[in-house]
Chain A
Amino acid sequence: MMLVVKRILTYVVMGVGTAFFALPVLWLLSAPLDDTPTYAVRPPRTFSLDNFASIMDNRYAVASLVNSTILSLGTMVLVVSAAALAAYALSRARVPGRDALIYLLLLLSSVVTGTAAMVPIFLLIFQLGLIDSHFGVILVLTGGLLPAAIFLLKDFIDTIPPSFEESARVFGASPLQILRQIVVPVARPGLATIAVWTVVQVWGSFLTPFILLRDPDKQPAAVLVRTFYTEGGSPNLGLIAAFSLLYSIPVVLMYLLAWSRYGFRFHGGIKT
């Protein structure tokens, strides 16, 4: 008797849980394909791809995806190159207080974030005259992601035996040559992880570009998608749905890629 009750309870938990988590996402799958989408989740009445065509007609929509790409790739290049240099140095140099330094950086990056960092970041960028510039956003995002990237990459470089570099040094290679020709090829999986992680983080980030970019021509998809329904009265549901789906796909794909390669270790934020 107890057992039956327990089993039923378990199924109820799972059933309700599935519904709770699945319902909102179902809209993202059905509405883009619906000719006349509504707010409610339902199978498409008349199947059509017109919503995707309307993205092409909206000049801001296409531009915002380009902007998202610029921000993601720009931040990725900065984060990966800076983290590689710093992590290599920190992994090889014997300096007192090295671990403390890394922990301090991690601590700062998880404390000076989101809500708490909004005002100082805005002021900083404002005084540097970088409001409405992609470069400003890239700098801010790089700053936030770098400590975690250094931390993850240092762990990785620690596992590479220094003997490779020593033998290169014997043959007279310069430090930068060693880094470029020995360390980078060996550390490639680690660098790739950081690169994917950075792109995912920047692609989805909302707050930083939201407060730093005013010009709709420069806004990334995360910010622009709001204007499809806050401007001009009623929201354009078809456009929002199709655009959201298109915008979400890269993130899901990258997670799946990272997941199949590295398993569950791949988390969203600074999860140490």
Chain B
Amino acid sequence: MIGVFLVFPGLWTLYIGATNFRLTGVSAREPDFVGLDNFERALTDQTFYHSLWLTLIFVFGSAVVGQNGLGFTLAWALRDARKWIRRTLEALVLLAWILPSSVVAFLWIAMLDRDGGTINALLGTVPGIAWTVEYPLLSIIVFNIWRGTAFSMMLYSAALSSIPPSHLETARLAGSSGTQTLRDVVFPHIKRHALTNTLLITLWTFNDFTPFLITASDYDAEIIATFIYNKAIVGGEMGYSGAISLLVLLMNLLLALVYLRVARRRLA
């Protein structure tokens, strides 16, 4: 019986192994074996570097700085806010996180629209700015901060509540300023959490396809996800996009391994 039940997970590993195999074996799908040509092409392709650079800015701006910073700021500001304020704001941030991606994408298209968008109405810009056309990268960065801050906020709330109140009290009595307290008391406590959080949100942002729904195939916002989609599904260049997928996969693996390492050290 144990054998039967163990065969299943075993087969399952094989299945995932098979998807991996496809990844590496994609170039072999073509009749001629092209070897490393696809990788060579990727490494000399200007549009690939362009896309990689945009991805870096996108991930750095929206996840590493944006979600991290805003998540922490909210967690810190809400720490001793009144309960109903805390609840309301948390619910709103969470709502942004749980709504389906095609819905939130359209909500932001509406926000950023040139003629009737809410942002232009608030700023009073006449004629309106077509944000998604003129500032596509900025648009998806702001969108992704809005979309993903919930996770950072929850993680930092949990981390902040694990700091013994007596430490903060001592710092206050010793007359240290807000920034000093943050730097000397709070930061050492949440350092690990910050690292874990950054790794996870980087991994997720890196693999997120939702920005495509807002900026479509705009060249100035063609992050890796969109790049692969355009090359593979639209352009049909399976071998080439497969090679790029493999590079993305390796970066994912690297992030995940560092994450596991950090997580394990925390348990030990």
Contacts and interface: CB of A to CB of B under 8 A. Distances in A.
A222 B95 contact: no
B186 interface: no
Interface residues of A, number: 79
Given A21-B96, A111-B249, A206-B213, A14 B77 contact: yes
A55 interface: no
A108 B19 CA distance: 10
Interface in A136-194: 143, 146-147, 150, 175
Contacts of B29: 123
A113 B207 contact: yes
Contacts, number: 234
A147 B17 CA distance: 13
A116 interface: yes
B249 to A, nearest CB: 4
Nearest to A146: B12
A203 interface: yes
Interface in A258-272: 264, 267-269, 271
Interface string B3-34: 01110110011011011101100100100000
B253 to A, nearest CB: 5
A14 B233 contact: no
Contact of B102 (A101, A116, A226, A255): A226
A207 B111 CA distance: 23
Given A14-B78, A105-B13, A6 B107 contact: no
Contacts of B94: 255
B243 to A, nearest CB: 9
B102 A122 contact: no
Nearest to B229: A118
Q: Which of B9, B111, B151, B241 has the most CB of A within 10 A?
A: B9
B198 interface: no
A116 B210 contact: no
A223 B95 contact: no
B102 A121 contact: no
Contact of B89 (A18, A41, A204, A225): A18
A58 interface: no
A56 interface: no
B123 interface: no
Interface in B163-186: 178
Contacts of B26: 119-120, 123
Given A143-B19, A203-B100, A226 B213 contact: yes
6 contacts: A14-B77, A24-B146, A40-B116, A89-B6, A115-B225, A222-B101
Interface of B: 1-2, 4-6, 8-9, 12-13, 15-16, 18-20, 22-23, 26, 29, 70, 73-74, 77-78, 81, 85, 88-89, 92-104, 106-111, 113, 115-118, 121, 146, 151, 154, 178, 200, 203-204, 206-210, 213, 224-225, 228-229, 232-233, 238, 241-242, 245-246, 248-249, 252-253, 256-257, 260
Given A89-B5, A113-B252, A175-B1, 12 more contacts: A25-B99, A40-B121, A82-B8, A89-B6, A89-B8, A103-B260, A116-B207, A116-B248, A122-B232, A175-B4, A211-B229, A211-B233
